[in-house]
Structure 1
Amino acid sequence: MMSTTPRPRLRSPGRLVRVGLTTGGVLAAVAATLFAVAPDKLSPAAESSSVEARFIGLAGKCVDVAAANSADGTAVQLFDCNGTDAQRVSKRGDGTLRVFDKCLDVVDAGTDAGTAIQLWNCNGGPNQQWVVTEALDIVNPAADKCLDVRDGNSANGTRLQIWTCTGAAQQKWTAEAVGGARRGAGAPAAPRTGFVVSEAQFDAMFPGRNSFYTYKGLTEALSAFPGIATTGDDIVRKQEAAALLANVSHETGGMTEIVEGNTANYPDYCDVSQSYGCPAGQDAYFGRGPVQLSWNYNYKAAGDALGIDLLNNPWLVQNDATVAWKAGLWFWSTRSGPGTLTPHDAMVNQAGFGQTIRSINGAVECDGKKRAEVQSRVDAYQRFTQILGVAPGGNLSC
Structure 2
Amino acid sequence: MKSFPTIIFSIVVLVGAFPQLISSQNCGCAPDLCCSKFGYCGTGNDYCGSGCQSGPCTAAPSSGNSGVSVADIVTDAFFNGIADQAASSCAGKGFYTRSAFLEALNSYPQFGTVGSVDDSKREIAAFFAHVTHETGHLCYIEEIDGPSKDYCDESNTQYPCVPGKGYYGRGPIQISWNFNYGPAGESIGFNGLSQPETVATDNVISFKTALWYWMNHCHDLITSGQGFGATIRAINGGLECDGANPNTVSARVEYYTEYCNQLGVDPGNNLRC
Q: TM-score range by the shorter chain?
A: 0.7 to 0.9
Q: Is 1:353 equivalent to 2:228 in the alignment?
A: yes
Q: Is 1:374 equivalent to 2:257 in the alignment?
A: no
C-alpha separation between the residues in 1 aligned to 2:128 and 2:232?
Answer: 12
Query: Who is 1:243 aligned against?
Result: 126
Match 1:157 to one of 13, 28, 32? 28
C-alpha separation between the residues in 1 aligned to 2:173 and 2:267?
Answer: 21
- What whole-Å deviation, never above 9, does each CA across 1:341-397 have from its counterpart, x for those lacking one? x31111111110001000000011000000111011001001111111111111111
The answer to whether the 8 A contact 1:280-1:314 is kept is: no
Instruction: Name structure 1 gaps, 5 residues minimum.
Output: 10-112, 115-134, 139-145, 161-169, 180-185, 335-341
Q: Is 1:198 equivalent to 2:75 in the alignment?
A: yes
Q: Is 1:290 equivalent to 2:172 in the alignment?
A: yes
The answer to whether the 8 A contact 2:119-2:223 is kept is: yes
Query: Who is 1:147 aligned against?
Result: 20
C-alpha separation between the residues in 1 aligned to 2:82 and 2:134?
Answer: 14
Query: Who is 1:123 aligned against?
Result: none
Q: Which amino acid aligns with 2:75?
A: S
The answer to whether the 8 A contact 1:280-1:311 is kept is: no
- What whole-Å deviation, never above 9, does each CA across 1:59-116 have from its counterpart, x for those lacking one? xxxxxxxxxxxxxxxxxxxxxxxxxxxxxxxxxxxxxxxxxxxxxxxxxxxxxx99xx
> Kindly, what percent of the aligned residue pairs are identical?
37
C-alpha separation between the residues in 2 aligned to 1:203 and 1:235?
Answer: 22
Instruction: Name structure 2 gaps, 5 residues minimum.
Output: 7-12, 32-39, 50-55, 61-67, 87-92
Deviation of the 1:218 alpha carbon: 0.7
Query: Who is 1:230 aligned against?
Result: 113
* Cα separation, partners in 2 of 1:375 and 1:303, compared to 1, 3 Å: same
Secondary structure class of the residue paired with 1:367: coil
Secondary structure class of the residue paired with 2:20: strand
Q: Which amino acid aligns with 2:219?
A: H
Query: Who is 1:216 aligned against?
Result: 99
- What whole-Å deviation, never above 9, does each CA across 1:94-142 have from its counterpart, x for those lacking one? xxxxxxxxxxxxxxxxxxx99xxxxxxxxxxxxxxxxxxxx9x25xxxx
C-alpha separation between the residues in 2 aligned to 1:320 and 1:366?
Answer: 32
Query: Who is 2:219 aligned against?
Result: 344
Secondary structure class of the residue paired with 1:147: coil
The answer to whether the 8 A contact 1:197-1:238 is kept is: no
Deviation of the 1:201 alpha carbon: 1.6
Secondary structure class of the residue paired with 2:207: helix
- What whole-Å deviation, never above 9, does each CA across 1:229-288 have from its counterpart, x for those lacking one? 11111111001000000001000111110000024652x10111222522152x511100
Q: Is 1:272 equivalent to 2:269 in the alignment?
A: no
* Cα separation, partners in 2 of 1:304 and 1:380, compared to 1, 3 Å: same
**What pairs with 1:249-260 in structure 2 (closer than 5 Å)?**
249-260=132-143
* Cα separation, partners in 2 of 1:271 and 1:237, compared to 1, 3 Å: same
Q: Is 1:8 equivalent to 2:5 in the alignment?
A: yes
Moved more, 364-373 or 302-311: 302-311
Deviation of the 1:213 alpha carbon: 0.7
- What whole-Å deviation, never above 9, does each CA across 1:159-183 have from its counterpart, x for those lacking one? 59xxxxxxxxx8999856x99xxxx
Q: Which amino acid aligns with 1:147?
A: Q
Q: Which amino acid aligns with 1:379?
A: E
Q: Is 1:332 equivalent to 2:222 in the alignment?
A: no
Query: Who is 1:51 aligned against?
Result: none
Q: Which amino acid aligns with 1:236?
A: D
Query: Who is 2:202 aligned against?
Result: 320
The answer to whether the 8 A contact 2:24-2:41 is kept is: no
Secondary structure class of the residue paired with 2:129: helix
C-alpha separation between the residues in 2 aligned to 1:287 and 1:155?
Answer: 19
* Cα separation, partners in 2 of 1:387 and 1:310, compared to 1, 3 Å: same
Q: Which amino acid aligns with 2:233?
A: R
Which stretches of structure 1, 4 residues or more, deviate above 4 A after TM superposition? 170-176
Higher relative contact order (CA 8 A, sep 6+): 2
C-alpha separation between the residues in 2 aligned to 1:205 and 1:394?
Answer: 24
**What pairs with 1:148-187 in structure 2 (closer than 5 Å)?**
148-149=21-22, 152-158=23-29
Q: Which amino acid aligns with 1:204?
A: G
Higher share of residues assigned strand: 1
Query: Who is 1:76 aligned against?
Result: none
RMSD: 3.5
The answer to whether the 8 A contact 1:385-1:391 is kept is: yes
C-alpha separation between the residues in 2 aligned to 1:8 and 1:226?
Answer: 24
* Cα separation, partners in 2 of 1:218 and 1:174, compared to 1, 3 Å: closer
Query: Who is 1:365 aligned against?
Result: 240
* Cα separation, partners in 2 of 1:239 and 1:278, compared to 1, 3 Å: same
Taking structure 2 as the reference length, the TM-score comes to 0.77
The answer to whether the 8 A contact 1:280-1:313 is kept is: no
